[in-house]
């Protein structure tokens, strides 16, 4: 089962920004698949996909924080804090060198946090705002 499913309604019309979200979805789904796979090679794959997820998250957070300020989004400060906490959690995992059940458990929690953050009202309201500004006649 797919961990987090992309929906057309998540599209804002900002191609680069939407592509970042889609990439994060793909990577999160791949990590989720790897976590379900206990085979010896899976730790190696988790490390490499996790590295890409971390890089994409850093880039995306920069983009989204800037966009929120640029568009005068009301809860941008609160949202930025949530981003920082999330990134700290990922950096903590990245800083541990040994793979294993502990790391897998922490990663699973971070994936849940990612999903909850994306689906929460705050992120969705911002997507709707961007969509409305990019396609003013559509609503
Ligand atoms: Fe986002
Ligand atoms: Fe966000």
Task: Provide the pLDDT for residue 38.
Answer: 83
CATH of domain 13-130: 1.20.120.50
Q: What does the domain layout of the chain look like in residue ranges?
A: 13-130
How far does the centroid of ligand 1 lie from the alpha carbon of residue 127, in Å? 8
Rounded to two decimals, the pTM is 0.94
What is the full DSSP assignment across 75-117? THHHHHHHHHHHHHHHHHHHH----SHHHHHHHHHHHHHHHHH
Evaluated on CA atoms 92, 84, 111, 105, the torsion sign reads positive
List CB-based neighbours of ion ligand 2 within 5 Å: 123
Q: Residue 40 has what pLDDT? A: 77
According to the model, what pLDDT value does residue 99 have?
Answer: 67
pLDDT at 42: 86
pLDDT tens by residue, the chain, 139 residues: 899 999 999 999 999 999 999 999 999 999 999 999 888 788 889 999 999 999 999 999 999 999 999 999 999 999 999 999 999 999 999 998 776 778 899 999 999 999 999 999 999 999 999 999 999 986 5
Distance from residue 114's CA to the centre of ligand 2 (Å): 9
**Rounded Cα distance, 21 and 116, in Å:** 14
Could you say which ligand is closest to the alpha carbon of residue 12? 1
């Amino acid at each position: 089962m797919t961990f987090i499913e992309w929906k057309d309604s998540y599209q804002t019309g900002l191609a680069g920004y939407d592509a970042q979200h889609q990439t994060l979805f793909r990577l999160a789904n791949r990590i989720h698949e790897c976590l379900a796979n206990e085979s010896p090679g899976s730790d190696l794959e988790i490390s490499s996909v996790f590295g890409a997820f971390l890089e994409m998250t850093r880039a995306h957070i920069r983009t989204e924080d800037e966009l929120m300020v640029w568009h005068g989004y009301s809860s941008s400060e609160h949202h930025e804090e949530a981003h920082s906490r999330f990134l700290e959690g990922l950096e903590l995992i990245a800083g541990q060198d040994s793979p294993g059940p502990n790391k897998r458990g922490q990663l699973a929690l971070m994936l849940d946090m990612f999903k909850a953050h994306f689906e929460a009202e705050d992120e969705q309201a911002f997507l709707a705002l961007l969509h409305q500004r990019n396609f003013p006649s559509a609503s």
